[in-house]
Every structure is written in C-alpha cells, then in structure tokens.
Amino acid sequence: MGTMNISLPDPMKSWVEEQAKTGRYANSSDYVRDLIRRDRARREAVAEIQAAVDVGLASGPAAPLDCGTFKSRMRAEYAEE
C-alpha cells in the first residue's frame, strides 16, 4: 500500500481526527479512504445516470404514453415470469 501525505487546514484536521475517534474508523487514514471510496461510487453512479440520459436523448423525440398498451405489455411480461 502506498502512502500519501496531505496538508489540511486545522479545522479539517480536527474534523478528520474526531471522525476517527467515534469508533467507526480505526484511524484518520481509514476515514479518508472511506471518503475516497464513497466519492468514487458517487461519481460512477452519476456517470451511469448521465449515460442513460444520453441514450434517451439520442433516441429521438418521445412518443405519447398509451396507458392501455403499457398495462398490456406489463401484464404480458409478468405472465411470462
């Protein structure tokens, strides 16, 4: 595992140290690693949503929703399971 030294303003350093003292994290490094994991997961989720939006936009104009047809399709899919 590599190491990295970072500089934090005193209020941030105190915050990280307090989070480690809560018992949820073994130490300050564990807290920072958790923040990085969460940030990565959030960015991946945003990218996935953006990709779905892009696909939707590229698919062309939306068609009006016919509730009857939609319900029929849903019932047919449910019956196949």
pLDDT tens by residue, 39-65: 999 999 999 999 999 999 999 998 898
HSE-up (13 A, CA, CB side) for residue 63:
6
The answer, yes or no, to whether residue 81 has pLDDT greater than 80, is no
Domain that holds residue 23: 10-80
Is 3 within a domain? no
Element housing 21 (H / E) = helix 10-21
Residues 6+ apart with CB under 8 A from 6: 32
Is 4 within a domain? no
pTM summary value = 0.69
Confidence of residue 78 (pLDDT cuts 50, 70, 90): confident
The answer, yes or no, to whether residue 77 has pLDDT greater than 90, is no
What pLDDT is stored for residue 54 in this prediction?
A: 97
b/e sequence 52-70, b meaning 16+ C-beta within 10 Å: eeeeeeeeeeeeeeeeeee
Q: How many domains does the chain have?
A: 1
